[in-house]
Amino acid sequence: MLKRFLNLLICVFPSKRREEAACYQYEESLFLCAINDVRNGPGVEWKPFLLLPAMTSDDGVGAALSQVLDGSGRVLDLTGPNELREARREQLRATGFSSERKLQQSTVLCVIRRLPDRVRFTPTHNGGTRGDTKGFKPLEEAATEERLPTSEAALGEALRAALRTCTSSYEPHAA
């Protein structure tokens, strides 16, 4: 009986959609993309994809971040055996990288989450492509928050500050 009641509550009061984005920094570029859920699967980085020159103003970076966060939170129906893989290939093409390995060797990543009253910026450690530490791992102790409402310039500045705290197993990166 309790289980049916809880299921009814979930149907009547669905949880707020997740509003998340990823920002990769490499060479002279920032690549922003939405993080969406996949029906019966993990979250996936997906459109909108925005590639910005690193010299973009804080206001421009904040506006792009807002646009990407607005486009996040969808549930994608990528149920075919190759659809998730093809979605990742499309993202790689948008970044200009030809493989996951090249992307990983050249970038740092910050994950951004918009909550009702703030935006949370979580830098990551790029652990490389091999071994126990491979992949991007969140640096929760270095996460920062920007209270809402705020300006797009403040969002852009906060994102750049978070990117500067990212670490990498590869040679130092410029923020």
Domain range annotation of the chain: 18-168
Q: Residue 42 burial (CB < 10 Å; 0-12/13-18/19+)?
A: exposed
CA separation, residue 161 to residues 76, 104, 126, 134, 145 (Å):
31, 20, 17, 24, 11
Give the pLDDT band of residue 138 (cuts 50, 70, 90): very high
Q: pTM score, two decimals?
A: 0.85
CATH architecture, domain defined by 18-168? 3-Layer(aba) Sandwich (3.40)
Q: What are phi and psi of 4, to 5 degrees?
A: -60, -40
Asked if the model's pLDDT at residue 79 lies above 80, the reply is: no
The percent of residues in the chain predicted with pLDDT above 70, rounded, is 85
What is the tens place of the pLDDT at every residue in 13-59? 444 578 999 999 998 999 999 998 877 666 788 899 999 999 999 99
Give me the pLDDT at residue 112, please: 98
124 — pLDDT class (breaks 50, 70, 90): very high
